[in-house]
Every structure is written in structure tokens, then in C-alpha cells.
Copies of this chain bind each other. A is one copy, B any other.
């Protein structure tokens, strides 16, 4: 086999996702894309906010000197200062620019941080259900993923996390608000987690770093509140992306920031700068670094997500689905009405609804609904959801 057998095997294992997308593409070609309800993709809805679009246009039309050239691997110093200032406001911690590394999105940041921290065989705890890419990122750095299940409401199961800690535990990935569940972890849970990690560090013989992957932290619904993990957990590395708050997903712009309270914070930040270079990112795209510098404090436009969440949660619940209303992000993670969720997904496809099976997130028997789309499309999908409910739960719409 000319390509790496491990890579080809990973592709083969993921081929059902590709097949699903291909079926979706065939469906769109046959029905017209406007008649297919594609809830499978986490592509944020909308364009960048108008002031940011103007800033990008201004930078491109009147480029500052050296706009497109190499800068230090950690990013432009003034951009890093803007990020640090925003983090100081958000967390109350004394973040400095030296602890910030501008990165190729949150995916780049996670790979950089994991590579900076891990030695081969080191373990990293992930909370299921999880963003499936985490497993690849951990393995890229020679690490071993260790799965801790979340509680029934997708909140942290502290006992499960305690049980997952071993002498090789080096890090834990937190993702609040969560993809795929929408769970937002309250500060009490994070404080309790802090105690568990402190205890675990004695067993692990060194710090357990928390990689706080928080690209959805500005997408939080009334009744929930984002609690910055860095404020409760000293050994935190904040990982952020401007894909969601600024709708720049394709531009690959984000950052990581080592908490000033973290063990050997400066050494870890230096290791991250080095890894940003040698992993081949080199630096975050320069025009986008400049563009986002002035938009650190901006609020995300929640209007579309709020509307879609309301109508979908209400309709799915009325139709009999078991749904935990998400506290943040733009996903629902309902229980599948069929034990084998692939059977439900096939039925949904007959209604022109595309969703992702829970097994793609390490949790069988569920499915993910990404509602980052035009509310009119969501509105038009509601009868199809109701028909699905009738089909699986009967007309009364009783709970599964």
C-alpha cells in the first residue's frame, strides 16, 4: 500500500460519513438543494459582521507595510496584545501577549498544544460525546485518547473523569459550549473538576493541562452562562477560533493562550510557538490576524441561532423526540428513536433531512442536528420532523 496503512484505515473507517455526504449530494441534485434539509454541516451561518468586512476591505485596499510577509511565528505582537487584553477582561486573569500564539484556527491550536505537551504514550482525556477530530489530533502528537462518558444530561460526570486519570494522564480536552451536545459547564462543575484534577496530578506526577476548546463561548442562550474554564482550572490552555463569532471559518484564524496560572506557563508557551513553526503552520494567516485584532470584544449575532433553536427544540419535543435543550453552540443531540441510529437516519433521508449519527461523536443511539442555517429552511423542515415523529412515536407524540 503506497499511502500509510494507518491513514488508509482511518479513511476507510470514516467512509460511511463520506457515503452519507454523497447520498446527500445525490439527493440535492435530484430534489434541488432548496428542498433538502441539510442539518449535517457545522458551517457557521452568515457573513462576517459588516464592520469586520469593512476592515478586511480596508486592509486589502490600503495594506500596511509588510502586511503579507512573515512575522514572528507567534503572530503580530500588537494582535497578541489585543487577544491578551480581551482574555484578561473575560477571565480576570493576567494574560499577557507572551502567552498568546495566533494559530491556524482552533484545529491548528489544538494540534500545536498537544504536540507541545505530549510525549509518546501520554494520555489525554476526552469527554464523550466528543468532536471526533480530537482523537486524530491526540494521535498526531503520539498521545492516547482516554474516553470519559458525560452524564445523562451531557454535563460533566466527575466520577468518570476521576476514574479516567492514570499515571500517564497529561491533558484533558474540555469543550464548553459543546459540539455536539450544546452543553455548557457551569462554574460549580469546573470548580469541582479542579479538585479532581489536583488529586489526579498527584497520581500523574505532574500537571494535567486542560485544553479548553471554546470556539462557541459567545454563542450561549438565555438561562445558560459561559464560565471560562481558565478562571477555575489553573493549568488551562485556552483554544479559540474566529470561525463562529466572526464567521471566518474558511480563513483559519484563531489562537491559543496559556493561562498565567498554569504550571511553567512561559515554557509551555515557548513550546507552542516552536510547534506552530515545525508542524508547518509557521504562522496564522497575516491579513486575518490584522483583521480580527480590533474585534476581540465583539458579540456574536445570535438572532438566527436563537430562532432556529426555539423552533427545532419545540417541534422535536412535541413530536416525541428526547432532546436536552442546548445551552450554547448551534447543535441538538437528540436520542435516536431507533436503537440503531442508522435506521433513523435512513428514515430521515426519506424526508430529505440530513443529520449525523451519534457514533460519529462516540455516542451510539443519538444523532446531531446542526441548525446553523437560514431560519426559513428550518421552518420548511418542521413538517418533515413532525412526520418523522409520527412514524417513530405514533400520532400522540409520546416520549421515547
Write out the residue numbers on chain B whose beta carbons fall within 8 Å of the beta carbon of A14.
274
Could you tell me if A47 and B60 are in contact, using CB atoms closer than 8 angstroms? no
Scoring A7, A207, A209, A251 by chain B CB atoms within 10 A of each residue's CB, the highest score goes to A7
How far apart are the CA atoms of A284 and B108 in the complex, in Å?
Answer: 12
1/0 per residue, CB under 8 A from B, across A220-254: the answer is 00000000000000000000000000011111100
Q: Judge if A275 is at the interface, Cβ distance under 8 Å.
A: yes
1/0 per residue, CB under 8 A from B, across A23-61: the answer is 000000000000000000101100110000100110111
Could you tell me if B67 and A250 are in contact, using CB atoms closer than 8 angstroms? yes
Could you tell me if B249 and A69 are in contact, using CB atoms closer than 8 angstroms? yes
Could you tell me if A280 and B104 are in contact, using CB atoms closer than 8 angstroms? yes
Write out the residue numbers on chain B whose beta carbons fall within 8 Å of the beta carbon of A110.
280
How far apart are the CA atoms of A350 and B364 in the complex, in Å?
Answer: 68
Q: Judge if A264 is at the interface, Cβ distance under 8 Å.
A: yes
Write out the residue numbers on chain B whose beta carbons fall within 8 Å of the beta carbon of A61.
57, 60-61
Could you tell me if B60 and A108 are in contact, using CB atoms closer than 8 angstroms? no
Write out the residue numbers on chain B whose beta carbons fall within 8 Å of the beta carbon of A2.
117, 206-207, 209, 263-264, 267-268
Q: Judge if A283 is at the interface, Cβ distance under 8 Å.
A: yes
Q: Judge if A147 is at the interface, Cβ distance under 8 Å.
A: no
1/0 per residue, CB under 8 A from B, across A197-215: the answer is 0000000001101000000
CB distance from A377 to the nearest CB of B (A): 15
Write out the residue numbers on chain B whose beta carbons fall within 8 Å of the beta carbon of A252.
104, 252, 281-285
Q: Which residue of chain B lies nearest to A3 when distances are taken between CB atoms in the complex?
A: B271
Could you tell me if A68 and B247 are in contact, using CB atoms closer than 8 angstroms? yes
Known: A67-B250, A68-B251, A111-B279. A268 touches B137 (CB 8 A): no
Known: A4-B119, A264-B2, A281-B108. A43 touches B57 (CB 8 A): no
Q: Judge if A5 is at the interface, Cβ distance under 8 Å.
A: yes
How far apart are the CA atoms of A251 and B283 in the complex, in Å?
Answer: 8
Could you tell me if B68 and A60 are in contact, using CB atoms closer than 8 angstroms? no
Could you tell me if A3 and B264 are in contact, using CB atoms closer than 8 angstroms? yes
How far apart are the CA atoms of A279 and B209 in the complex, in Å?
Answer: 21
Write out the residue numbers on chain B whose beta carbons fall within 8 Å of the beta carbon of A282.
104-105, 107-108, 252
Scoring A137, A140, A206 by chain B CB atoms within 10 A of each residue's CB, the highest score goes to A140
| Nearest 3 interchain pairs by C-beta | A250-B286, A111-B280, A60-B60
Question: Could you pull out 15 A-B pairs where Cβ atoms are within 8 angstroms?
Answer: A2-B264, A2-B267, A3-B116, A7-B115, A7-B275, A41-B70, A57-B57, A105-B280, A107-B281, A108-B282, A136-B278, A250-B287, A252-B252, A252-B281, A279-B279
Other A-B pairs, 18, CB within 8 Å; known A53-B63, A136-B278? A2-B206, A3-B267, A4-B119, A5-B119, A10-B274, A11-B274, A67-B250, A68-B250, A104-B280, A108-B280, A109-B280, A111-B279, A133-B277, A140-B278, A251-B286, A252-B282, A252-B284, A285-B288
